[in-house]
Structure 1
């Protein structure tokens, strides 16, 4: 498992399974080692019991007449151990009656092996090879003649339990039994234990996966509820939170139940807070709408009376100038009131009349108006040959484009080129690009906020309420579209995307060139 920033993160289910299986594997391993050690000790004890009997027989045979063991005649040519004659080579005590195959017999004098042989499967003594004898001599060098069984490695003969006993005159008799059968039994035990342990781990893992999965299922339902709530548009509008954790998953006696109950309490608190916020926003919108509506009449009256007084004439020059300023501010206040009223109605979901809007013709009209209002700017259009149609409110979309071009005219110096592009790719994509000084990077994210003000580096020859781009965003959002801005010094692009765009069939009278290619022109 890696560490650091790229550390692998496991799921809770995986961690629980590992927390269950790893200790189980350790317990099985410990039990296996202890059981194998105990069985090995028992098998070695059995070999030692047989070895003690073999040593007694060897000692008894070593003291018998050299002609044979248990026979009436000493020099007869007997054919087997029961006959008492020694068949094959090796120490004369090796083939004592009762010795089994594999039994080792050796004589050692002054540390040197003088005779050594083992009993083969036919019951005959088979002398050791020179290499086996050398291995036996090295092993017996560490075996004292004290009659205690010890395990030695005899090379090609394998492991043996041997006992060395003194026989007088400095001679030592060595008797041994092989451990091959005991080691084979231990190997079978280990193989069976490992196989059974692995099968047990697999079975335990499968059962654990099912149990853990069922145990964590309520937690998954809690997470699913939280995910559905997180996907709701909680930032604005009237939002209800119908999702709750099921009562079966809110049992306070369980950990998951406590989490589910806490999540339900949290959702109740959030719903209450959202309801309070929505009520406050509704009251505020109603107040703004009512205030804007009520202000329209006195502002209009101020404008009318001011204009009436000025038309009568006969006023001093300073009074006439003051009335002009009053009238100009009244006009500005009237525009502000109209913008506030429009935003309040858009927030309430009203003020949109849906129809089919020809964006191509709309762009040409609005750019022509912008050229008339700002002749010191260069106005360019790039349009497809076929008309782009979208469902929407013609007046409000006209206001969107007019506000965007007015924003360019107001906040860029004379000589700036503004290009309006239109294309269709499933959506109607409207781009207004200018090569002005751009928007400061710290203000790009807030240009669509209400009463947002541009940086002083962008010229402000005319007044601005700070609501133009807010109205753009509100209208575009009301049409189900999006609006964004990208700006660097020398290039600012505002992009409006409107859904449901269709392209009208081009007029056949325009010839073969009317194939949807873009048209570019500069309005002068």
Structure 2
């Protein structure tokens, strides 16, 4: 038996948990409404019943008091006879006298007896009636008609001459009208409760469904995201002060961050795939050359007089492959976000050193360090917070590009200066460095792509120049790590200008 009840309870719990939340809320609301209405209806009808019975009790007490003061002793000289047809009362009262000598009598209207029946009163005790004479107790007895009751009060009967107790009289009033009123009230209240419960359950189901509309929207958006639509957003329909409104905004913020993170991941994955493909392509050429020359030498196809030339080519291709690997390693470290040695750096001094090295390597070129502002007579020291070695590498790479991709003897300048409020006239002071050459320049279409990895312009940037296509990518990565920007502009009069902006180092006055 216990196991069966346990299985039944478990099955009920599972069925309950399987219901949607809105269904459970509607059922709970309906259940609470039902309990509340039944409790209030029971209390109201009970109060009504007590009130009506109390009125009958008050009427009986008033009648008993009148009989006690006027005619209880009269019952001792004029005894009530059960068989006397005149012993009847033209009212709803029922009076029954029980005497100590064994006689008894009653008075009841025939119409009342037909309508309400006759109460079945037990043998009454004189002692009990005397004990309750000061405060008579009332009680309920059944009628000889089914489902009818009477309310009864008892009083002692005293002898007129001696004053002794000779019997007991019971006075009763029918409760049928009271009970019919209570039952009719209960029926009407029950019908009203049923109507209210039905309407309440419909209203609860509608309101709960309406309240869950925003949650269903969230559910729909979650389904769209699960199907791959990361741009789906939850409609913001509630104020931010509500729980649902706060949830809508929090979910939209989370979805936006997730979409951005996913886009970054996709871009990073595509970039990594392209990077590996380009790196493999770049490494394949020197490896093929080294392998080819090695096999040629092993097979004896290299004459003794060309051995030095072949070994030189192998060494050249190996050096080129080593530079490519170094560049790839540096870019990988940049992508990993490794920390740099940040310290105050004088960019004017770094630019001057880079130009000095270039004049040694290319003495035929006219190299100059000039101020950014034509109003200045010479380039002034400008300070930034950065890694000195990395910033030196930036200028070295840019000047190396100038050497490889511009005609011999063409001049090059480095302009250094500070813009007080940024290049756009707003914000904090900005340090600007421009590396200007006077070569063939870079087409506008290529200027937007030269900082991409392994990108080369078709006209001049090819493998025969010795470049790997990573120099400007390294420049862009280093400048970005320093919080700056870099772009390719046109030099007035012809040529290319690499424009670099870095946050200026603001020192307290």
- Shorter-chain TM-score bucket reads 0.3 to 0.5
Q: TM-score, normalised by structure 2?
A: 0.47
TM-score (normalised: structure 1): 0.46
Largest Rg, 1 or 2: 2
